[in-house]
Structure 1
Amino acid sequence: MTKPLTHVALQRLHVTCGPTISTSEVHAVCPEAIVHPPIQHGDLYRIGLEPGDRILIIDGLFHQTAPIRHKEILDMIAQGVQVVGSSSMGALRAAELHTHGMHGVGRIFELFAGGAIDNDDAVAVVHLESDDEFRALSEPLVNFRFALEDAALAGVIDHRSAAAILELIQDLDYPGRTWRNVYRLLEREGRRELAGQYTAVTTWLAEHPASANTKKADALHALDELTRESHSTTVPVNDRWATSFVHGWRNRFRPLTTQPDETLTVLAGLHYCQLYDGEFLPLWRKVVLAHIAGATTTDLPDDELLGAADAEIVRHGICLSDLTPQQRSQWLTPDEQSSLDTETQLRLLVIRSAPLTPSQMDLSSPLATVLLDLAHRGAAEARAVQQISTSLLPAGLTVDHISDQHLVTSLDNEWSLATPTPQHRDIAARQRGFLSFEHAKDASRHFIPGRLRRVRKVFPTSSSSVLSP
């Protein structure tokens, strides 16, 4: 479905950069810009962008972590954020999405958008970390390409020699692409005439820095353009890309509140409720029943909600008698099968097997309001428990080092599961909106040490008892 065009007034300007251009260089052009490190998967949600904000993506990570996803950018555009790309990762993503509302600026963007290049490594560099201001240790292929092209147009080198040098550079892996390495390679291969012309090019580039570093030139161009731009942006929105993965990313990375330095994500707040809040169970039951019934609210009388859900169950031909005993045991405990009537068993089975979880639910839907309200009410406790859990971990260890057995025992106690089987644990987890007990166990890693210390007051002084050897 295509929604109407949305008009939004432009507000804050965010910039993600690192090796291409420094924070001080950004602020020299745009003093009001909010500068972030090179972007990676999830950062568009972590930043807390609002409708009308602008973000210029210059640099992004890809080798050591998951890169920014296309659908994350589309999601921001759909929410009224103006997304601009240039120079590096930004130019690449803009070339891929310029027909879907992302803006591209600069020579490198035009090169990608025109199909002259399509390889990601054309903009890749090796660089240091934030403590060293992401200083680049290699040179991107696009800088070599434009430097040689501009030098040839200026008559410093002939076009055939420039093409020969560029071909040699393309054969190098991107970490090995430096001006000095290229000269050494020419010398080693005995191509002295090319080496001489290459030296002439580097001498000329010292006097023409814009040609030497097209990445930076494009970034400055984009910043200048955004500084001068004060009009509104019009965003065409098509939401066919908004899959459960996008909803999952929103929930996993977006802060629960807008308070400064918020450490609790939406998903973490929901997980805490799923794991430990007694109010969650009846709320989740109503949300799932309303979802089954096709209702847009949970504020319906119980009889009306149950009747509508039961009607949908019947309409889809779901019948308890069609299931084998083994299939029933995946969703119902022996006690439930022996003590509950058929209608109640069927409702429980459908609730627990529904393809709906808080982790991948569209929390902008009306049905999610009650869940978000509960998460906000429990945010202070969840945040404190999470922070305590982090502080209790010895240096160099993460929540992944917490022993599985301790997680299992803790959840058994929290959920009052006496001598449970694996199936019982899965059923208890599904009742709380988890796909399985394994998913619940992983969610609890971030809370269990702090919860034992803060809530149950039994966590030992040393954290070694909960860590895997």
Structure 2
Amino acid sequence: MRGRIYIFTGPTLSAQEGRAELDATFLPPVAQGDVYRAALGKPVAIGIIDGYFERVPAVWHKEILWAMSEGIHVFGAASMGALRAVELAPFGMEGVGTIFESFQRGELEDDDEVAVAHGSAEDGYRLLSEPLVNLRATLAAARAAGVVGPATSAVLERVARDLFYMERAWPTVLTRAARESVPSVELEALRAWLPRGRVDQKRQDALTLLRTLRARLDAGLAPKQVRYHFEHTDAWEEVRRRASRLPLGGAEGEDVVPESLLDELRLRADLPGAWRAALARALAVEQAARLGRTVDEEELRRTAEVFRAEHGLLSAKDFTRWRRTQRVEDLERFLEEESHVRWVETLCATDAMRHLPDHLRATGEYGPLLERARDKERVLAANGLEHPLLADAGMTEAELWRWFFEQRRGQPVPEDLDHHARDSGFADVDALRRAVLRERCYARLR
């Protein structure tokens, strides 16, 4: 038995294609902490093809060094794997393939040579752009086939290089090249040749990595030997501690926010608020971990009950629908973190209240809100309406709610007012009613 192998891949080569070449465990694109977690399983080797690099912390050099110091061979090719292999070749990481060799010789220098835009894991990491290394390889093949001449090839390569990596695609390159007086005959010939002639250099290198690894394993792969001493720094211990709390492949799926989802938040101008809320959630979970808090089955059950009640998910059917539409695959993890967040919210309520004014100052809301609150106090006190009743507002309760929600907020009256009150930060519907009565009387007097 030759031992376990882990391969990190995604848009370059599918797991299904990979399994046809090598008996290994195929994981999503690598992110910071993934190599450390994989190494904990004591595999014989780890292969890195694809990796996250933009919105998710990229795989750290030091975790690769640690894995090799533990006797694990680490190979890299095609994309992120090629980049890290060039950087860590002096320490023993093994690079494979044409792209790795081009970087190692200095023919390629920029990381965006291998960068691509791609869909989510659910979408099969569908490619949304063409990596520059593939564009270069394809143009070289087109020149060799006599489809385009050197001058046209040079223009096309320059046009592709000048594009942002997410915009690189053959239709865009050809359209922009046409504006630069490139002979239309050559462009049309290339357009017709591309479906059969396009070179996927990244995929070829990924397959080379798997075949190389298979051959090395068949020949017998002894534990990795390194010449360096691994230094356990504070920064390393912090990354290691954080990584230990996630499962292997934790960067996969819902944990990596698709760029398209971020665009939706940006278009709604919701991203800053969502980002701060996510940060607060991360810090709450981190604080619970620092304090050694654990969540047993009873606490998970209570958290689930409260969450379902708050969100109107009382029936099993509604809860199942919510899980499906919100893509909640690991319900236990979600509820455990939700329990931590609620516990920390209670624990830190006083501190949060102390920081609320500064938050409002940062958003520019503190001054106007404070002035309005003080003016409301003065006006209501001057008219003996510090604690007004429905009669003082001149309305029935139904009319009061319609005035507040429909006229002031432009939304229908919520079916569950008590639920709405708690969601809005009031203790209950009575507290909400008192605040709305004061607002109604203040509005009439002003």
Structure 2 length as normaliser, TM-score? 0.58
Q: 2:201 aligns with which of 214, 236, 239?
A: 214
Aligned residue for 1:243? Answer: 233
1:256–1:269 contact (8 Å) kept in structure 2: no
Q: Which is further off, 98-107 or 230-239?
A: 230-239
2:141–2:197 contact (8 Å) kept in structure 1: no
1:82–1:102 contact (8 Å) kept in structure 2: yes
Q: Which of the pair has more CA radius of gyration?
A: 2
Displacement of 1:63 in angstroms is 1.6
Q: Within 5 Å, which residues of 2 pair with 1:303-314?
A: none
Unaligned runs of 5+ in 1: 1-8, 259-267, 278-380, 412-461
Question: Counterparts of 1:215 and 1:64 in 2: how far apart (Å)?
Answer: 22
1:50–1:81 contact (8 Å) kept in structure 2: no
Q: Which is further off, 237-246 or 131-140?
A: 237-246
Question: Counterparts of 1:256 and 1:59 in 2: how far apart (Å)?
Answer: 19
Aligned residue for 1:24? Answer: 16
Question: Counterparts of 1:204 and 1:102 in 2: how far apart (Å)?
Answer: 38
Displacement of 1:137 in angstroms is 0.5
1:58–1:91 contact (8 Å) kept in structure 2: yes
Secondary structure, aligned partner of 1:236? coil
Secondary structure, aligned partner of 1:14? strand
Question: Counterparts of 1:463 and 1:102 in 2: how far apart (Å)?
Answer: 57
Question: Counterparts of 1:72 and 1:386 in 2: how far apart (Å)?
Answer: 35
2:11–2:127 contact (8 Å) kept in structure 1: yes
Q: Within 5 Å, which residues of 2 pair with 1:4-403?
A: 11-30=3-22, 32-47=23-38, 49-187=40-178, 189-193=179-183, 195-208=184-197, 212-230=199-217, 231-233=220-222, 234-254=224-244, 275=291, 382=295, 384=297, 391=304, 402=342
Per the alignment, do residues 406 and 60 of structure 1 end up closer, same or farther by CA in structure 2, a change over 3 Å counting? same
Aligned residue for 1:365? Answer: none
Per the alignment, do residues 65 and 468 of structure 1 end up closer, same or farther by CA in structure 2, a change over 3 Å counting? farther
| Fraction of identical pairs, as percent | 32
Secondary structure, aligned partner of 1:131? coil
Displacement of 1:125 in angstroms is 0.8
Aligned residue for 2:348? Answer: 408
2:69–2:230 contact (8 Å) kept in structure 1: no
Per the alignment, do residues 200 and 273 of structure 1 end up closer, same or farther by CA in structure 2, a change over 3 Å counting? closer
1:71–1:242 contact (8 Å) kept in structure 2: no
Question: Counterparts of 1:198 and 1:467 in 2: how far apart (Å)?
Answer: 60
Secondary structure, aligned partner of 2:106? coil
Displacement of 1:408 in angstroms is 2.8
Displacement of 1:168 in angstroms is 1.1
1:402–1:468 contact (8 Å) kept in structure 2: no
Per the alignment, do residues 272 and 186 of structure 1 end up closer, same or farther by CA in structure 2, a change over 3 Å counting? closer
Question: Counterparts of 1:100 and 1:467 in 2: how far apart (Å)?
Answer: 56
Structure 1 length as normaliser, TM-score? 0.55
Displacement of 1:215 in angstroms is 0.6
Displacement of 1:273 in angstroms is 8.3
Displacement of 1:256 in angstroms is 9.2
Displacement of 1:237 in angstroms is 4.2
Question: Counterparts of 1:466 and 1:86 in 2: how far apart (Å)?
Answer: 50
Aligned residue for 1:262? Answer: none
Residue identity matched to 1:191: S
Residue identity matched to 2:186: Q
Per the alignment, do residues 181 and 227 of structure 1 end up closer, same or farther by CA in structure 2, a change over 3 Å counting? same
Question: Counterparts of 1:272 and 1:403 in 2: how far apart (Å)?
Answer: 8
* 1:292-313 Cα deviation digits (max 9, x unpaired): xxxxxxxxxxxxxxxxxxxxxx
Displacement of 1:204 in angstroms is 3.8
* 1:193-216 Cα deviation digits (max 9, x unpaired): 1x432443354443345xx11011
Per the alignment, do residues 33 and 161 of structure 1 end up closer, same or farther by CA in structure 2, a change over 3 Å counting? same
Displacement of 1:163 in angstroms is 1.7
2:89–2:95 contact (8 Å) kept in structure 1: yes
Secondary structure, aligned partner of 1:104? strand
Between Structure 1 and Structure 2, the one with more helix by share is: 2
Residue identity matched to 1:408: C
Question: Counterparts of 1:463 and 1:235 in 2: how far apart (Å)?
Answer: 62
